[in-house]
Amino acid sequence: MQAVQPEHIRNIVLAGHAGSGKTILAESMALQMNATNRLGSIENGTTISDYAEDEIARQHSLNASLIHGTWNDRKINVIDTPGLLDFHGDVKAAMRVADTVLITVNTSTGVEVGTDIIWDYTQEYYKPAMFVLTKLDADRTSYTGTVDELRNHFGHLVTPIQFPAEEGLGHHIIIDVLLMKQLEFSPDKPGSMIVSEIPDLYRKRAEDLHFKLVEAVAETDEELMNKYFEVGTLTEDELRGGIKSGLLTRTFFPVFCTSPLHLIGTQRLLNAIVNLCPSPIERGPEHAFCSTENHEKLLNPDPEGSTVAFIFKTMSEPRVGEISYLRVYSGHIESGHELIDAQTGQLEKLGQIHVMQGQKKEPVDKLLAGDIGMVVKLKDAHTNDTLADKGTDCRISPIAFPEPLLATAITPSAQGDEEKISSGLHHLHEEDPSFAIEHDTEFNQTILKTLGETHLDTIINRLEKKFNVSVVTGPVRIPYREAIRSASSAQGKYKKQSGGRGQYGDVWMRLEPTERNTGFEFSSEVVGGVVPTRYLPAVEKGARETAAEGILAGYPVVDIKAVAYDGSHHPVDSSEHAFKIASSMAFRAAFEKAKPMLLEPCYSLSVKTPEQYTGEIAGEISTKRGRILGMDTDARFQIIKATIPQSSLRDFHLQMVRLTQSRARYSCAFSHYEEMPQDIANRIVAGNSSRKG
């Protein structure tokens, strides 16, 4: 395959809610472009882009997948992405390197939560976006209802380019109001589009939508607006130019119609991609940060420039090893090319360069700026790394992955598998940086933070299949703390005589509560040598160790000052060991008299939700002992600010999914410790006592 110049490339990402038809749309595009000779089936596991075992089993995309083909002498790279929210890490990775986003919308279900979230991503990355309506040949579809929803959600800049002559079973005719033609398709027959005049039955509606299209395009450009006022209309070429310009400036969002399962509308959509979507040249230079010059630099997609390529996805395949998907932003890459990892300074020598057709690798001599492909077995470069020519230290800004919030503790099913788990999770994290691995040293727990339950299940299944290690999941332990409400004093006397030299230590200790987050403090007010100076370090050690072990429920004692102020000693029997034990006894006795309490960690919580769910979410937070601090408004959303105990966050993620169908998003961070209600504290203390028993 010959290298393709950047002006002849279109980089497209298919994104949308789960079940909105992305994979079948990618399949139909591949068939129309002769990249495959048959239309694959999700049910039978024969699609090009969903080839992994777990994708076939779940009948859902779980990974971003790359296909490509040629249409009207233009190369189109298509990245099919997962619709399930748990795998939106790959969506953001794909969107980072694409030039245009095709947002698929199922006309049977309309705008869904995934549609909203994908739209937010296009705003974050400032990407041109087109809406592709799918499944117009299914039962109970609504073209008009879906378009109205799109405009209500995303504004009046959403503009139909097409409408179906008839919806539902038997649908095969589309009226195109840009071309002002009727497009008729023979279902399941590639390349069957017949272009004809619009019948009288649909002409009035077509003329009305064409008028609205001309107005919408004219509003994107002052020159076009002036022409529209002078002439009263715009030519087809002027409309195309205006749409392309509006896509780039996000002032125009066209709507196309398809039924990809039966190849209806796909041929016209490919024409639109070639004619309307920007090439890497038209999309413009990429921002990069250069360390040496300490400033941003614009990288033009110039094949003759210095090479800068960005790795947006890493995967591991049996008998192949690690493969790295990348986009070339400047210069070119070819086999044997020596590049520097701009993050680490590590030299990377490229092996064979490939372009991908799902799982199938097609070797190429080189990839030029603007193109997307794959290399195998890089030594140390992974997702979010930039590869560049020696002497070029420019780095592409990294992918901002969604924050994983569902925390789960994992332990090996078999003793001694800890190292295998650690190694397996490390490799899986290189493939999927959207989950996080933490180690809690206090409880010696390995904690996985994922985007949801399906994400967690997938990671655990991959850990078992790829690395032959199984794990047991459980709740994350809460780091409670113990403290006191009032000051108290007590004596600790340790006296032991069993023949020979005995043991004797005597300490009086006072405990005082201190301000929150002050930890543990020790001081001595001993005078007159009643406790010799040489034994005071042992007294402090006994108090500190007892505080660290906890007394009520086995959690560290904090926000306390321990003061040794009196005692006695024996000239022969006293020792450091005896005074350490006596100190521990005094600390425990004084603690139990000082009105002890349990403290629990509380988190600050911010929930962004559509307005209709505000009451239910506020109620849920209150039932979980949270406190509402206030509310803000952000466009169509309400933002609820609150604090909530960490223990109440255990099932908060699942409750948000249940209450809002995943439409609410939230973030949380540790805030402070506060006193726990006595009834809950009693249960925790009782649980600790039963474990000890």
CATH code for the domain in which residue 353 is found: 2.40.30.10
Report angle CA 359, 365, 369 to the nearest 5 degrees: 90
Residue 138 pLDDT class (50, 70, 90 cuts): confident
Distance from C-alpha of 140 to C-alpha of 144, rounded to nearest angstrom = 12
The answer to whether residue 351 is domain-embedded is: yes
Which helix H or strand E contains 557, and what residues bound it?
A: none
Q: Which of 283, 308, 329 is the last residue of a domain?
A: 283
Radius of gyration of the chain (CA): 33
Distance in angstroms (rounded) separating the CA atoms of residues 307 and 684: 60
Nearest to 67 by CA among 327, 314, 491, 360: 360
Q: Is 59 left (phi over 0), alpha (psi -120 to 50) or beta?
A: left
Q: Are 490 and 518 in contact (CB under 8 A)?
A: no
Q: What is the CATH number of the domain that holds 462?
A: 3.30.70.870
Return the pLDDT at 229. Answer: 87
C-alpha–C-alpha distance, residues 225 and 235, integer Å: 13
Ranking 197-206, 207-216, 606-615, 656-665 by mean pLDDT, the lowest is 656-665
**Nearest alpha-carbon partner for 602 in 685, 516, 474, 486:** 516
Instruction: For residues 378 and 421, state if they share a domain.
Output: no
Q: Average pLDDT of 331-354? A: 92
Whole-angstrom distance, CA of residue 520 vs CA of residue 550: 12
Q: Is residue 237 part of a domain?
A: no
CB burial of residue 218 (10 Å; 0-12, 13-18, 19+) = buried
Smallest CA-to-CA distance from 269 within 80, 76, 37 is with 76
Least confident of 102-116, 310-324, 378-392, 558-572: 310-324
In whole angstroms, give the CA distance from residue 557 to residue 484.
Answer: 9
Q: Write the CATH number for 626.
A: 3.30.70.240
d(CA 164, CA 144): 10
Residue with tokens 């506020």: 618
Residues written for the chain: 693
Question: Would 621 be classed as within a structural domain?
Answer: yes
Residues 261, 112, single domain; the answer is yes
- Cβ distance 511 to 587 under 8 Å? yes
Distance of alpha carbon 547 from alpha carbon 558, whole angstroms = 8
Written as one string, the DSSP assignment of 599-648 is EEEEEEEEEEEEGGGHHHHHHHHHHTT-EEEEEEEETTEEEEEEEEEGGG
Task: With respect to residue 222, please indicate whether it lies within any of the assigned structural domains.
Answer: no
Domain end position, chosen among 340, 363, 396: 396
Angle at 692 between CA 680 and CA 587, to 5 degrees: 80
Give exposure, 283-307, as e/b (b: 16+ Cβ within 10 Å).
beebebbbeeeeeebebebbbebeb
- Side chain identity at residue 356, one-letter code: M
Q: Could you say which DSSP state residue 142 is in?
A: -
Q: How many CB atoms lie within 10 A of CB 502?
A: 15
Q: In whole angstroms, give the CA distance from residue 245 to residue 243.
A: 5
The answer to whether 83 and 18 have CB atoms below 8 angstroms apart is yes
Region of poorest pLDDT, from 26-30, 391-395, 639-643: 391-395
Exposed, middle or buried: residue 590 (CB in 10 Å: 0-12, 13-18, 19+)?
buried
Q: For 686-692, which contacts have Cβ atoms below 8 Å and span 24 or more sequence positions?
A: 687/553, 688/552, 688/553, 688/554, 692/554
Q: Does position 687 have pLDDT exceeding 90, yes or no? A: no
Does residue 691 have a pLDDT over 60? no
| Domain CATH number, residue 496 | 3.30.230.10
535 has pLDDT over 90: yes
Environment class of residue 679 by beta-carbon count within 10 Å: exposed (0-12), middle (13-18) or buried (19+)? exposed
Please list the alpha-helical segments (H only) found in 78-231.
Answer: 88-97, 113-125, 143-154, 200-218, 222-231
**One domain for residues 168 and 124:** yes
Question: 151 and 82: one domain?
Answer: yes
Q: Say yes or no: 447 and 494 in one domain.
A: no
Grouping H, G, I as helix, E, B as strand and the rest as coil, residue 455 is: helix
Q: Are residues 308 and 176 in the same domain?
A: no
616 class by beta-carbon count within 10 Å (0-12 exposed, 13-18 middle, 19+ buried): middle
Question: Does 115 map to a domain?
Answer: yes
List, as own/partner pairs, every contact residues 415-422 make where C-beta atoms lie below 8 angstroms and the sequence separation is at least 24, other chains included.
Answer: 417/469, 420/467, 420/468, 420/469, 421/446, 421/463, 421/467, 421/469, 421/471, 422/446
Coil vs helix vs strand at 597: strand
Residue 467 above 70 pLDDT?
yes
Residue 685 has pLDDT above 60, yes or no: yes
pLDDT mean over 520-542: 94
- pLDDT of 615 over the 80 cut: yes
Encoded tokens for 183: 């497009």
pLDDT digits (tens, 9 = 90+) for 245-300: 999 999 999 999 999 999 999 999 999 999 999 999 999 999 888 776 667 888 99
Distance, in Å, from the CA atom of 373 to the CA atom of 362, rounded to the nearest integer, reads 10
Q: Are residues 410 and 373 in the same domain?
A: no
The whole-number average pLDDT for the span 112-126 is 93
Question: 487: which DSSP letter?
Answer: -
**C-alpha span between 343 and 378 (Å, rounded):** 14
Q: Same domain for 568 and 643?
A: no
Q: Is the pLDDT of residue 442 over 60?
A: yes
Residue 226 placed within a domain: no
> How confident is the prediction for the chain on average, in pLDDT?
92
Which residue range(s) make up the domain with 190? Answer: 6-214+250-283
Q: Which helix (H) or strand (E) holds 438?
A: strand 436-440
494 close to 568: Cβ distance less than 8 angstroms: no
Return the bridge partners of 339, or none. Answer: 348
- Say whether pLDDT at 693 is over 50: no
Judge whether 568 lies within some domain: yes
pLDDT tens digits, one per residue of 39-62: 988 888 899 988 888 888 888 888
* Cβ contact 129:115 at 8 Å: no
Contact (Cβ atoms closer than 8 angstroms) between residue 640 and residue 624: no
Looking at the structure, tell me whether residues 202 and 324 fall in a common domain. Answer: no
Question: For the chain, how many structural domains are there in total?
Answer: 5
Whether 545 shows a pLDDT value over 80: the answer reads yes
pLDDT at 647 over 50: yes
Q: Say yes or no to pLDDT of 170 above 90.
A: no
**Domain C-terminal end among 474, 489, 509:** 474
Give CA–CA dist 470/417, Å, rounded.
Answer: 9
The pLDDT score that the predictor gives to residue 37 is: 87
* Same domain, residue pair 272 and 302: no
**CA–CA gap between residue 310 and residue 619 (Å, rounded):** 45
1 located within any domain: no
Q: Identify whether the C-beta of residue 360 lies closer than 8 Å to the C-beta of residue 66.
A: no
Of all residues in the chain, the percent with pLDDT exceeding 70 is 98
- Does residue 587 sit in the same domain as residue 603? no
Mean pLDDT over 412-418 rounds to: 85
Average pLDDT over residues 653-663: 88
User: Do residue 630 and residue 570 come from a single domain?
Assistant: no
